[in-house]
Amino acid sequence: MKLTTADWLNKVPEVTLAFWVIKILSTTVGETGADFLAVDVGLGAAITTLGMAAFLVLALCVQLTKTAYTPWIYWLTVVLVSIVGTQITDLLTDLLDVSLYTSTAVFSVLLALIFFTWQRVEKSLSIHQIVTPRRELFYWATVLCTFALGTAAGDLATEALGLGFTLGAGMFAALIAGTYAAWRMGANAVLTFWIGYILTRPFGASLGDLLTQAKTYGGLGMGATWTSAIFLCVILMLVAAAQTGVRPRKKSFE
């Protein structure tokens, strides 16, 4: 029997502590994984971007065929989006010499336009209502833009503004904590979710740089290989737990 969009369940996981942990780890892997492939493996920025973009398209095609949240393919897509988003910003900065101020501003405007169009067309930005193909395309376009913006904003704070990795990570962590506090005090749930989602990207990028960069540059010197491997293992364990425990959920129209 052919499935219609009426048969869809929500395609996005519940927003729990595990969701945020995996999201932050994914953002860090996007930073360290991209560096590992481009620098340590020696593929270079262009080949890394093209290769990961191809894998992302394949993963996204599989994700779009699902009619309910499926942990393994959803989080694989997020990790690939993180790597591709990182590489887009790095290509603009390193190869095209685009200022981090410019890329941060451009991605901010682009994200605002996506949100505006999404709201105008679908009347809601809630991730509890990703129950049609069009809404899911809006969702993934938003996610990709948040990763590119977060990379640019993180690099802008830690490098161009000279905050450094430790202070940069601390600043974004404080902003995330402030967003959580605002939500607890009754701020709009959809707005605070997307603010937190955007902020986890520069936090993850700053954390990744803090862990991987040499001590002479203000990092802890763990290197991209070990950091990526450790974080990927944690992601795999959490996603495996989610995969074994996932249950069909009713549509939510909150």
CA proximity to 181, closest of 173, 89, 140, 41? 173
Give the per-residue pLDDT at 199. 92
pTM above 0.75, yes or no: yes
User: Which pLDDT belongs to residue 6?
Assistant: 40
Supply the pLDDT for residue 7.
42
Domain ranges in the chain are 11-245
Model pLDDT, residue 205 = 76
**Across the 254 residues of the chain, what is the mean pLDDT of every consecutive 10-residue run?**
44 88 85 77 83 93 90 92 86 87 94 96 88 92 91 84 85 94 94 92 81 74 79 88 64 38
Q: Residue 245, class by beta-carbon neighbours within 10 Å (0-12 exposed, 13-18 middle, 19+ buried)?
A: exposed
Q: How many CB atoms lie within 10 A of CB 46?
A: 12
Instruction: Say what the pLDDT of residue 161 is.
Output: 85
Compute the distance between CA of residue 181 and CA of residue 196 in angstroms, rounded to an integer. 11
